[in-house]
Amino acid sequence: MNHSTINQWLELSNLGIYLAQQEKMFFGALTKRYGLLGASAQFGMPGWDLLPSCSIIQVPEDVRMAPEAMAWIDASLDLLILPHILECSDTPYQVLAESWRCLKPGGRVLLSGFNPHSLWRLGKCFDGKQLPHPRQCLPLPLLKRHVADLGFTIESGRFMAYVPPVNSERALRRWHFMEAAGNRWWPHAAAAYGVVLLKRQAGMTILPELQEKLADKENAVVLTPAKVKAD
């Protein structure tokens, strides 16, 4: 599935616009909290103005690269935004592994994905043409196993869009009551999920009294890795 196809569906169809509004709220609240603290990058959804253009690197608008082989050096990013990237990849685990490699300790991944077990599987959305086939979507339990294997911590998350797969504005308004009911009674039936992944890794901070010595070649100091007790 081409990511631009998903982007087009989210921008042009009534059901897609409905979901996109909820995802923008999810990402927007988080980028306001984390996005201005350091180096940030976003794959896809160029129309989603989540951060000022000067504060984020847009892929592929600013630079072209595959999410399975990111061009950034190790531990160079503070925030990575991946809306519906995993279901567009044949190797979603590799995308997550690359995200881990590129993030600094304490960095975060904000991602969204379609839930293959949602009510939408009963409609015609997940046909492999408008949206990915359900088998291309990453179920949340499998995502949790992948991120745990890599060392990520799931910091927070939410489900989004409990309405059935109707595509008229009138029908969406009629079924909107399911948002509150679904969040309480059947959260795993939502069409999509959003997740915040935190890279927890012991880092090393140079003490101020050593910085001057490091800058002085005559007083060079060799630093050795410290043993850190796990939490």
Residues 163-187, mean pLDDT to the nearest whole number? 88
* Residue 215: inside a domain: no
Residues 191-196, mean pLDDT to the nearest whole number? 96
* Residue 104: inside a domain: yes
User: What's this model's pTM, rounded to 2 decimal places?
Assistant: 0.83
* Residue 94: inside a domain: yes
DSSP summary character for residue 106: E
* Residue 223: inside a domain: no
* Residue 67: CA count within 13 A, CB half-sphere: 28
Strand partners, 108: 79, 198
Q: Are strands 152-160 and 103-114 parallel, antiparallel or unpaired?
A: unpaired
Q: Which two tokens stand for residue 20?
A: 């996109």
pLDDT of residue 30 exceeding 50, the answer is yes
Domain range for 143 is 3-205
* Residue 41: inside a domain: yes
* Residue 150: inside a domain: yes
Separation CA 231–CA 215 (nearest Å):
33
Q: Which two tokens stand for residue 197?
A: 């992944």
pLDDT of residue 208: 53
pLDDT tens across 109-135, in order? 999 999 999 988 888 888 888 888 888
Total domain count for the chain? 1
Q: Which two tokens stand for residue 181?
A: 């009911």
Q: Say which residue the tokens 């991946």 belong to.
A: 82
* Residue 218: inside a domain: no
The candidate with the shortest Cα–Cα distance to 194, out of 91, 65, 101, 86, is 86
Contact between 201 and 225 under an 8 Å Cβ cutoff? The reply is no
Q: Say which residue the tokens 């969204």 belong to.
A: 112
pLDDT of residue 217: 45
Q: Which two tokens stand for residue 214?
A: 């490091």
* Residue 217: inside a domain: no
Can you give the CATH number for the domain in which 16 is found?
Answer: 3.40.50.150
pLDDT of residue 188: 84
